Amino acid sequence: MIKINAEFKKNGFNGEWEPEFTREMSSAMEQSLALLEREVRRNEPNDRGTLRTGTRGILISPLRGIVGVIGPAERYAEVMEKGRRPNKRRPPIDVIMGWLKRTDKGKAFVRSIKEKYKIKKKTTALKSAAFLKARAIGKKGIRGKFMFKNAEIELKPKVNEVFSKAINALEQRFRG
């Protein structure tokens, strides 16, 4: 999850231009959230699209926003972001079976297990392959994708630029 908190010091601030300020800062926050959301989605692993459909930029206020995953993919997003440490509990076999059925890489792995161990039934080969894959993930873990962390690092200068432009536009409007 990426959090954006902009600070505004109210030196010389009078309520006269508050509606303008709110509009300009809301626009800057929405632009920033859209940039970050797009970058996170670009770096997310795409199996069924559950992460991509759940990734959202949420405008909380003109000075606060969040980019995160909402809905059923929240736990999955955390695992994909940070990875899974070695020697931890195995992932559920039914989830691995679904992945093996859906992906070309998974199908190839099931075929190789079927041939290597001379398994006759496709369902038995699928269960065996899922068990082996889950056991390997449990032992070795998986590397994190760091899609949120990398997006935040990469786009921080751009987000700062968006807010600087908004502040400059406000200054220009209210100086003259």
pTM over the 0.75 mark: yes
Q: What is the pLDDT of residues 105-122, one digit of tens each?
A: 999 999 999 999 999 999
Residue 125, domain member (yes or no): yes
Are the CB atoms for 39 and 154 separated by under 8 Å? Answer: yes
The Cα–Cα gap between 18 and 8 comes to 12
Same structural domain for residues 8 and 66? yes
Same structural domain for residues 71 and 156? yes
Same structural domain for residues 8 and 52? yes
Same structural domain for residues 7 and 65? yes
The number of folded domains in the chain is 2
Same structural domain for residues 18 and 103? no
pLDDT surpasses 70 at 96: yes
The Cα–Cα gap between 53 and 40 comes to 12
Q: What is the pLDDT of residues 45-95, one digit of tens each?
A: 888 888 888 999 999 988 899 999 988 888 889 999 999 999 999 999 999
- Structural domain boundaries, residue 20: 2-76+143-175
Instruction: Give the pLDDT of residue 126.
Output: 97
pLDDT surpasses 80 at 15: no
Residue 14, domain member (yes or no): yes
Tokens of 142: 């998986």
